[in-house]
């Protein structure tokens, strides 16, 4: 192989490659299970898979709910 063979040269791309994604919770996804909690009154309802807690209104006071893992931080 000589120096003019470009098949082994690597480009100067800035791709993330493998493992460059955001981790499970750092990406905002908490998985199945858990609870949605009202930050205003503390009402707690089971989280439903595929439905973001922020789209759920509190059944007691009508405030927007958040995922329980966010309040634990």
Domain residue extents for the chain: 35-72
In whole angstroms, give the CA distance from residue 17 to residue 58: 41
**Residue of higher predicted confidence among 4 and 40:** 40
Residues 6+ apart with CB under 8 A from 58: 38, 40, 41, 43, 64, 65
Mean pLDDT of 35-53: 94
pTM: 0.57
Tokens of 26: 């750092």
Residues of the chain with pLDDT > 70: what percent?
56
């Amino acid at each position: 192989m000589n120096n003019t063979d470009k098949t082994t040269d690597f480009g100067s791309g800035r791709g993330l490659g493998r493992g460059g994604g955001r981790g499970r919770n750092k990406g905002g996804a908490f998985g199945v299970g858990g609870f949605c909690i009202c930050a205003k009154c503390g009402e707690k309802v089971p989280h439903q898979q595929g439905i973001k807690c922020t789209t759920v209104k509190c059944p007691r006071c009508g405030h927007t709910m958040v995922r329980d893992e966010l309040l634990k931080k």
